[in-house]
Structure 1
Amino acid sequence: MTEQQHIEPDTKDWTWTVERRCPDCGFVAGEVGPDEVVGLVHRLTAPWPEVLARPDVATRPRPEVWSPLEYAAHVRDVCDVFGARLRLMLDEEAPTFADWDQDAAAIEKDYAASEPDTVADELAIAADGLAQGYATVTGPQWERRGIRSNGSEFTVLTLGRYCLHDLAHHLWDVGATA
């Protein structure tokens, strides 16, 4: 494991982003329609290979802020986690999602010591898997429900919107645009 400054865990509840414009990144998830989700997954993950090619990709801008490499590894895992939650919502009636501690994942998978080319490849695969999952959703499936362990309830569409905000926000975090 790489020695890194401890990152204070993000304990904010970001579920409001499915309804309101994010004042930081500017993404308006609530305006995303079902026919836009797949394209936006691709658009919001496409800039990562360029980000991961930066010479300072593993350098944190401040000790307590993830590097672009760490953000990219996180985005890869976001795509995987949301893809699994989507499949669960399509396969089960109102499932409850298992907790995912993103900060623990960053430590356990040693995001900071990841190989940028590997992360780029894995992120592309994860994003494609997420987009393919959403490409299968039709009609009333968009309204299927799932519940986060804290009680937050999502539909397939609002889960997609929530995920898309995460993808957009992390591009903003590293100074990239889609």
Structure 2
Amino acid sequence: MSYGLRDLDGVRVELCDECGFDDRGLGPLPAAFAEVYASLQQLERHPDAGRRPEEETWSGSEYAEHCVDVADQILAICDRAAGRPESASVVSLSQAAAATDDLMGALSATQWEAVTDGWPFEVRVRGALIHLLHDLEHHVLDVRRGYAKLALADGVEVVTSRR
């Protein structure tokens, strides 16, 4: 897997060959975040959310907790870079969704381009938020794969052709 930031034609982009994330084709960030948070919340309610598909693979609930933690950290990094007061920690996906939307709605053009302190190399607020989006979208895929593994292990019949 090749995951992360790449400089292509003088532009820094985030690409992932595992989940297919490519920020060059992103539409408006608020819509993308609304969609990914809705997907995570739906997956968190899945009947198998508390089950691990394999011993070393997180359950859907564990992925949801991780996504909340990552959102909380990245939002705090963005608040600092933008010179905004630190907001309250988020403890749920719905709070993370609301806090992400609030942050994006409050940023000026200058604040979107402010340099963060969260990485050992230069990452602007926009890039930090794109990385958060990638992380969330990647984990939607991880959770879906886990639920599919659980279904197969439970003996759910898989249809392989259309009639």
Map Cα deviations across residues 55-111 of structure 1 (whole Å, 9 max, x no partner).
Answer: 21111111011111100111111221111111101118xxxxxxxxxxxxxxxxxxx
C-alpha contact (below 8 Å) 1:145/1:154 kept by paired residues = yes
Alignment of 1:43-82 (within 5 A): 43-82=35-74
Which segments of 5 or more consecutive residues in structure 2 lack a partner in the other structure?
A: 7-11, 85-90, 146-163
Alignment of 1:127-138 (within 5 A): 127-138=97-108
Inter-partner Cα distance in structure 2 for 1:152 and 1:13: 18
Task: Tell me the equivalent position of 1:172.
Answer: 141
Assess, with a 3 A threshold, how the Cα gap between structure 1 residues 29 and 78 changes in structure 2: closer, same or farther. same
Assess, with a 3 A threshold, how the Cα gap between structure 1 residues 155 and 13 changes in structure 2: closer, same or farther. farther
Answering whether residue 129 of structure 2 is matched by residue 140 of structure 1, we say no
RMSD after superposition: 2.4
Q: Give the TM-score normalised by structure 2.
A: 0.72
Inter-partner Cα distance in structure 1 for 2:144 and 2:93: 18
Answering whether residue 80 of structure 2 is matched by residue 88 of structure 1, we say yes
CA displacement at 1:32 relative to structure 2: 3.4
Task: Tell me the equivalent position of 1:153.
Answer: 122
SS in 1 for 2:123: strand
Assess, with a 3 A threshold, how the Cα gap between structure 1 residues 54 and 157 changes in structure 2: closer, same or farther. same
From 37, 40, 43, the equivalent of 2:29 is 37
CA displacement at 1:16 relative to structure 2: 2.1
Inter-partner Cα distance in structure 1 for 2:113 and 2:40: 31
Map Cα deviations across residues 128-165 of structure 1 (whole Å, 9 max, x no partner).
Answer: 1012101111222221101335x122111111111110
**Greater RCO, 1 or 2 (C-alpha within 8 Å, sep 6+):** 1
The aligned amino acid for 2:5 is W
C-alpha contact (below 8 Å) 1:79/1:126 kept by paired residues = yes
**Identity value in percent:** 28
Map Cα deviations across residues 11-30 of structure 1 (whole Å, 9 max, x no partner).
Answer: x9954276243111111124
How many residues of Structure 1 are paired with residues of Structure 2 in the alignment?
134
Which segments of 5 or more consecutive residues in structure 1 lack a partner in the other structure?
A: 1-11, 93-118
Q: Give the TM-score normalised by structure 1.
A: 0.67
Inter-partner Cα distance in structure 1 for 2:134 and 2:30: 13
Bigger Rg over Cα: 2
The aligned amino acid for 1:26 is G
